[in-house]
Structure 1
Amino acid sequence: MAEQTKIARRSFFAGVGLVAAAGVAVKLAPSAAVEALSEQPAEPEGKSYRLSEHVKKYYRTTTI
């Protein structure tokens, strides 16, 4: 029984260490990666559908 408790405790602390390391990695990640994710895609060329401001306003008025 003591061996089983020791293994469970080791697994718990290994998991806590892994979560802590992931948190530190996210905190230290370059901000360029975050900015790249938040950029809007470029507008398509031609006469295709575009999500312009007046279309966004219409969508907002149709929500319940």
Structure 2
Amino acid sequence: MADELHEYSRDRAFKNASIIYDILEKIYKISKTHDIPTYKAANILVEEKIEKIGKIQSKYTG
């Protein structure tokens, strides 16, 4: 894990693990809701994030 590149911080490690857990929960929810495999659900989640980022960038870049 990237935390090994820095001085070990238990709090940072747990925070990162919590973020990963939350992402996996979202993937499983999408998978169940749409009755699709988790890899497709992960793609949907990423596409939604990319779309949000694109909207933010276009707001500031015109």
With normalisation by structure 2, the TM-score equals 0.43
Higher relative contact order (CA 8 A, sep 6+): 2
More helix by share: 2
Which of structures 1 and 2 has the bigger CA Rg? Answer: 1
